[in-house]
Amino acid sequence: MKKLLLSLTLCLQLVHNGLAQQPSTPPPPKPAEQKPAEPPKDPAAVDVVKITTNLVQIDAVVTDRNGRHITDLRPDEVEMIEDGKPQKITDFSYVKIGRPAEVAAKPTEERSGPAGPVAPQKLRREQVQRTIALVVDDLRMSFDSIRFTKQTLKKFLDEQMQPNDLLALIFTAGGTGALQQFTSDKQRLYAAVEKLKWVPRIGNSAHAFATIRNENLKVPERNQADETSELQDLNQRRQDLFSVGTLGALNYVIQGLREMPGRKSIILFSDGLQIFSQSEPSGGERILESLRLLLDLANRAAVVINTMDARGLVTFGLTAVDNTWHMSPQEVEARLSQRRVNFFNSQDGLDYLAAQTGGLAIRNTNDLNGGVKRIMDDQAGYYLIGYRPDDATFDSVNGRTKFHHVALKVKRRGNYTVRTRTGFYGVTDENLKPANNTPEQQLVGALLSPFASFGVQLRLTSLFADDATQGSVLRSFIHIKASDLTFTKEADGSHKAVFALMAVTYGENGKLVDESANQHTIQLTDAMYQKVARYGFTYNTTVPVKKPGAYQFRTALRDEASGRTGSASEFIDVPDVNKGRLITSGLLIKGMPLDRYLKGLSPSIAPQSGHDTTVSDPMANTSVRQFRTGTAMVYALAIYNAKLDKTTGKPNLTIQARLFRNGELVFTGNPIRFELRDQTDLKRLGAGGAIQLGTEMKPGEYVLQISVSDLLAEEKHRVATQWMDFEIVQ
């Protein structure tokens, strides 16, 4: 892998625009202000599925004839069966997942919303209430299905997503970076939904079922009598391939979910998954074998797979695109009958995935929103039931691992539906668990985990900028808490630490854009060590990007001596500079004493080397973004594509700052006219200023929003905004 880029010269210039502005004391929070409820710790911490020599434990949901959860069963009212033999239950409990307080929300287009941007909540592992992967099988979905699914996803985010939910939107056509997009940030998920579009592919028509064609009808101008059967075979083979590809995507999602807490769920939106192929039976066997392996992995990872047939309620009569000329009524009926058979066969795979993992299969309904609500309501709780397996459970038969079928029977009087795992291979979890013992595996594990690792504390800021020579780039500042590293004292009195630093950048399609890794040795004099141990230091890196879109930067560090790891990640939107519209770079902020700012003693806001070991307070650091009241918060950004006055050849811009807390506007600065000063690159204008943080401002999370107005531009492209979150601390 390439070496980590260790040099950076930021093109943003700090331009002092008048005196610092001071926000007024923010109003006290409203009594009705809602905060995310603290979730119960037990559901997230519990090991849902266990397969060991001493215990087989699985989860189960029991409902009555009306679909209501039964939560008061006793151990003597159920019977666990393995391979047809009743088992003695040794563990029995009901885990209730209390849903967070409902947050009233209107559809996106009607919601008044907060007054301004809100910093996304970064959930800790113990705060996660529900972990949900929304998987869209865009490899094989029709235009209409994509459209309906897109609407359903937006409605889900509007009405059903809760503050303590951790979600990912994954497309089966995406790359290996897709799983890294687990987030609680609704705006990021909205942006991902907007990227969902139908792309025509072989084997993917604009309708949920193939249209009727008269194979006896001759088309003289094409003269390709044998083409139909060849195309059918090709499409069938492609469909089989796409089915395996869908399973491959699910396999990747489950692998990632394995490290997540508690009971996890997948909602798969698809136009069907046919297990057996009529023209190629061996292909069906290949898919069925993949399904068995996939389901064993899902069951051990405590993942429930719910499926939704996005085609909705389908009619099987004739349509305007069917060509039945010169076909007899019997032939037409035979084709319609085959159409029905093919359609229902295509639902077999979706039903099988849900049934084998204890999930729900939603099909033959146009109310996709209602289907998603049923799935969410079904996550109210579940039973954990364990028994001691026989000694022969993990014995191989003729050198092959045996698959054991399990079932749960309710003995209580009444009609009940039981959904649970249906079986497992006779291998213990210990024998299947990958050993992340090597330093490389530990580092990669920290990098790919959906949760940040805090063995070594990292703080990350990633920004977009447009460089005159490199073009669009992502610039990332990584602050490392040096006291978390292991320093050894050398013979000459210096202090040395060795660590590995790895970084990857993913594009919006989940594909890898850039990767870098290297081992670093930092050796400091005693005096410098004391300062670095107290304040930490910053690394920075620059990654060129070839096209606009959403990107994700992830970094991880491993201390060589202790094995402790740390990780962090951020999303960055890269706009299209070449469109000629007014845009800005990312917003860079830094703190400093107010008197130093007023005296013009502000240091450069950008680090001048790959690792910055200056003695500045980390609470003023660009990466940390934690500031004390009474200080000046200095900001800087670049302005691109500003219009120039035809007479003076200069831009006519104003800059305005606003502060928000929990989405509520707490301060609005006066618009400040931009001064060109000595800048020569009129396509990339450096701008900046400062805001004095009042001594009465309450500690907590804030957002700084900077709006740039181009008075020479047309109305709809006149304003560009950028924001950055920060924290006020005691």
The predicted model gives 592-601 an average pLDDT of 61
Token digits for 594? 């107010």
pLDDT at 150: 93
pLDDT at 23: 57
* Range with lowest mean pLDDT among 174-183, 209-218, 355-364, 593-602: 209-218
From 723, 502, 534, select the one nearest 617 (Cα to Cα).
Answer: 534
- Last residue within a domain, chosen from 393, 410, 432: 432
Residue 17 covered by a domain? no
pLDDT greater than 70 at residue 598: no
Report pLDDT digits (tens) over 667-682: 999 999 999 888 889 9
pLDDT-derived band at 327 (thresholds 50, 70, 90) equals confident
- Last residue within a domain, chosen from 344, 364, 382: 382
User: DSSP of 189-248, one letter per residue?
Assistant: HHHHHHT-----BTTB-SSSSPPP--TT---TTT--TTHHHHHHHHHHHHHHHHHHHHHH
- In contact, 170 and 268? CB cutoff 8 Å: no
597 lies in the same domain as 469: yes
Evaluated on CA atoms 673, 665, 124, 96, the torsion sign reads negative
The predicted model gives 357-373 an average pLDDT of 92
370 lies in the same domain as 413: no
Please tell me which of 178-192, 280-294, 296-310 the model is most confident about, judged by mean pLDDT: 296-310
pLDDT-derived band at 596 (thresholds 50, 70, 90) equals low
Write phi, then psi, for 626 (nearest 5 degrees).
-120, 125
Mean pLDDT of the chain: 78
Report pLDDT digits (tens) over 182-227: 788 887 788 788 878 886 654 433 333 344 444 444 434 434 444 4
Give the integer Cα–Cα distance in Å for 130 and 126. Answer: 11
Report pLDDT digits (tens) over 545-582: 888 988 888 899 999 999 999 998 888 889 999 999 99
pLDDT greater than 80 at residue 302: yes
pLDDT at 359: 93
Residue 42 covered by a domain? no
Please tell me which of 292-296, 316-320, 595-599 the model is most confident about, judged by mean pLDDT: 292-296
pLDDT greater than 70 at residue 510: no
More confident residue, 536 or 41: 536
Tally Cβ neighbours within 10 Å of residue 109: 7
CATH (domain of 626):
2.60.40.10
Report pLDDT digits (tens) over 337-353: 888 888 888 888 899 89
- Last residue within a domain, chosen from 349, 364, 382: 382
pLDDT at 290: 66
331 lies in the same domain as 471: no
The predicted model gives 108-132 an average pLDDT of 61
70 lies in the same domain as 203: no
pLDDT greater than 60 at residue 28: no
Report pLDDT digits (tens) over 682-702: 999 999 988 888 888 899 889
pLDDT greater than 90 at residue 59: yes
pLDDT at 46: 62
Residue 575 covered by a domain? yes
pLDDT at 599: 56
Q: What residues make up the domain containing 74?
A: 48-100+383-432
Give the integer Cα–Cα distance in Å for 70 and 443. Answer: 44
pLDDT greater than 90 at residue 307: yes
Q: Hey, what amino acid is at 257?
A: L
Distance spanning both ends of the chain, measured CA to CA: 42
- In contact, 39 and 346? CB cutoff 8 Å: no
Q: What is the DSSP letter of 103?
A: -
Q: Is 527 helix (H, G, I), strand (E, B) or coil?
A: helix
Percentage of the chain beyond pLDDT 90 is 34
pLDDT at 213: 46
């409605």: which residue's tokens? 155
CA 727 to each of CA 55, 474, 590: distance values in angstroms, whole numbers, following the listed order: 47, 23, 12
CA 662 to each of CA 35, 117, 521, 590: distance values in angstroms, whole numbers, following the listed order: 10, 8, 41, 21
165 lies in the same domain as 256: yes
pLDDT-derived band at 165 (thresholds 50, 70, 90) equals confident
- Strands, E, within 97-192: which ranges? 130-136, 165-171
Percentage of the chain beyond pLDDT 70 is 75
Q: Is 656 helix (H, G, I), strand (E, B) or coil?
A: strand
94 lies in the same domain as 201: no
pLDDT-derived band at 631 (thresholds 50, 70, 90) equals confident
The predicted model gives 484-500 an average pLDDT of 95
Residue 56 covered by a domain? yes
State the pairing for strand pair 512-524/565-574: unpaired
Token digits for 141? 């979905």
pLDDT greater than 80 at residue 665: yes
pLDDT greater than 50 at residue 445: yes
Residue 201 covered by a domain? yes
418 lies in the same domain as 526: no
pLDDT greater than 90 at residue 118: no
pLDDT at 663: 78
Residue 9 covered by a domain? no
Write phi, then psi, for 535 (nearest 5 degrees).
-105, -15
423 lies in the same domain as 451: no
pLDDT-derived band at 281 (thresholds 50, 70, 90) equals low
Report pLDDT digits (tens) over 62-109: 999 888 999 999 999 999 999 999 999 999 999 987 554 443 344 434
pLDDT-derived band at 388 (thresholds 50, 70, 90) equals very high
pLDDT at 602: 43
Q: Is 540 helix (H, G, I), strand (E, B) or coil?
A: strand
Q: Hey, what amino acid is at 509?
A: N
**Residue-level length of the chain:** 730
User: How many separate domains does the chain show?
Assistant: 3
Token digits for 522? 């930092």
pLDDT at 156: 93
Residue 114 covered by a domain? no
């990339």: which residue's tokens? 684
Question: What interhelical angle do 281-300 and 348-357 show, nearest 10?
Answer: 30
Residue 27 covered by a domain? no
323 lies in the same domain as 390: no
489 lies in the same domain as 421: no
375 lies in the same domain as 447: no
316 lies in the same domain as 393: no
Strand partners, 279: none
Q: Is 197 helix (H, G, I), strand (E, B) or coil?
A: coil
User: DSSP of 246-310, one letter per residue?
Assistant: HHHHHHHHHHHHTTSSS-EEEEEEES---SS-SS-HHHHHHHHHHHHHHHHHHHHTTEEEEEEET
pLDDT at 612: 40
- In contact, 180 and 450? CB cutoff 8 Å: yes
pLDDT at 283: 52
Q: Hey, what amino acid is at 425?
A: Y
Q: Is 245 helix (H, G, I), strand (E, B) or coil?
A: helix
* Range with lowest mean pLDDT among 264-273, 464-473, 476-485, 596-605: 596-605
Token digits for 120? 């996304």
The predicted model gives 235-248 an average pLDDT of 54
pLDDT-derived band at 620 (thresholds 50, 70, 90) equals low
Q: Is 354 helix (H, G, I), strand (E, B) or coil?
A: helix
Token digits for 652? 């006519």
Give the integer Cα–Cα distance in Å for 102 and 621. Answer: 37
The predicted model gives 503-511 an average pLDDT of 79
pLDDT at 483: 93
Output the pTM of the full model. 0.68
pLDDT at 677: 83
